[in-house]
Amino acid sequence: MARGFQGLALKAFGANDYKLTVTGARAVTESFRRLSFQAGGLLEHHESHPTQWIRLWIPNGDKVQQRGYTLLNSDPVADTFDIDFALHPGPAWTWASTASAGDVMEASVLGSKFGMPDPVPTEYLLFGDAASIPAINTLLAEVGDARLRAAAAELTTTADTYAWVACDFGTTRNIVKSLKTIHGLPKNSIKATAYWK
């Protein structure tokens, strides 16, 4: 199916293309469906890192549209990973809710770069919603829970707080604005990506 302008632009920027094969599917909760994939060489060429994501070419009518999804449980030796799809009406969920072993999905890889902050901050602030829970889980696996606040009545930051923000476009923009203007967090202490709009 036609990838249109998105496909041409990704190609021009050097995206790598892969053919993924679904090997299993199950409900993780009522709101998440997990698909397991054989990665078609993807993990051989792209080293795993926290929050690693790829662009799936999701069918929508007579076209396909790219959508970001986070890799979980990556096994570079077996070349396999899982993706957890959050339930909401849309072409991605429509596809994921009925996908089963043997189904094929095309994917492109471009732009997934993330390194844990160095030096290690005293505190991480993670802002997200259902779409970014998979990515947050990959961050927590790296950070552990030692630097998580059990509860907070209001948002405060320290001199070396590191904030990671991944909500919908408007919420992400507002949180980043507050972190900068109200809490004085410098730009390089914030990693922000809009996960949906």
List binders of ligand FAD among 123-152 (CB under 6 A): 130-131, 134-135
We find the least distance from the C-beta atom of residue 101 to ligand FAD, in angstroms, to be 20
Amino acid at 6: Q
Q: Is the dihedral of CA 51, 93, 197, 106 positive or negative?
A: positive
Examine residue 54 and tell whether it contacts ligand FAD (CB under 6 A).
Answer: no
Residue 56 in contact with residue 6, Cβ under 8 Å? Answer: no
List binders of ligand FAD among 60-79 (CB under 6 A): 67-70
Strand partners, 53: 70
Residue 85 in contact with residue 92, Cβ under 8 Å? Answer: yes
* Residue from 22, 43, 86, 125 in contact with ligand FAD (CB under 6 A): 86
Binding mask 90-109 toward ligand FAD (x if CB under 6 A, else -) reads xxxx----------------
* Residue from 53, 81, 162, 164 in contact with ligand FAD (CB under 6 A): 53
Examine residue 57 and tell whether it contacts ligand FAD (CB under 6 A).
Answer: no
Q: What SS3 state is found at 12?
A: helix
Q: Which residue is nearest to ligand FAD (CB)?
A: 90
We find the least distance from the C-beta atom of residue 122 to ligand FAD, in angstroms, to be 26
Q: Between 173 and 183, name the residue whose CB sits nearer to ligand FAD.
A: 173
We find the least distance from the C-beta atom of residue 61 to ligand FAD, in angstroms, to be 11
Beta-strand runs (E) in the chain: 16-29, 32-38, 53-60, 63-70, 72-75, 80-86, 104-109, 123-128, 161-166, 190-192
Neighbour-count burial for 2-20, b at 16+ CB within 10 Å, e otherwise = ebeebbeebeeeebebbeb
* Residues within the interface to ligand FAD (CB under 6 A): 53, 58, 67-70, 83-86, 88-93, 130-131, 134-135, 193, 195-196
